[in-house]
Amino acid sequence: MITEAYQETYDQIASDHVSFWHQNDGRNPFQDPTTMAKNEAATVELIRDYAPKGPLLDVGCGMGDLLVNFPRRMRRGIDISEDYLKIARQRRLNVTNAPAEAIPFVDNLFEVVVATDILEHVFDLNLVAKELVRVSRNFIIVRVPYMEGVFWHSPPYKFVHVRIFDEGTLRLLFDPIMGCTVKECFQSENVLHLVAQK
């Protein structure tokens, strides 16, 4: 089944990432560390600018790298990889194994919902976007690769990125399709950031 193959691929990516992370001082094998640090800093700044307080949810939280920047607020994370979540829990983060297609929280719970580097991976983009909007009571902040190529076969992984984003497609997803107001959308480094208000 396709969802099982997707889960197997993601588990393999996470396992390889965590193994490399342990052996290489917390580095990511899939991204340039300088570029990754700049992208993460830009995301953190957007969260602080638009939603400086209130509950925060990180969808696709991985090891919790984003959540550790907000120790004084209620923060939650979800991911589908137990390898990632084990590390997040060791960092004393409140995280849950759950897919972005079925976020296990009630409507309007979080002041801000963040999804970084996941929308390019999901099969049902509209369902995931709908879930992000559903659990947010105010802001949704997303980060995606900008115009990064999609390869039909990426050994050793069956599925990596399944779509390409530019500013127009990302804006269209949240306004008008999801009915949000896009507050800003911009390219920095190799990514696009978008802030949408519910």
- What pLDDT digit, counting tens, does each position of 13-69 carry? 777 866 766 666 666 666 788 998 999 999 999 999 999 999 999 999 999 999 999
Report the domain count for the chain: 1
Domain with 186 in it: 2-197
Alpha-carbon span 193 to 158, nearest angstrom: 27
Single-letter amino acid code for the residue at 157:
Y
Mean pLDDT of the chain: 91
Dihedral of alpha carbons 14, 153, 155, 37, sign:
negative
The answer, yes or no, to whether residue 104 has pLDDT greater than 70, is yes
Please count the residues of the chain. 198
Task: Calculate mean pLDDT across residues 94-102.
Answer: 98
pLDDT of residue 28: 64
| CATH number where 116 lies | 3.40.50.150
Alpha-carbon span 178 to 22, nearest angstrom: 39
pLDDT of residue 154: 63
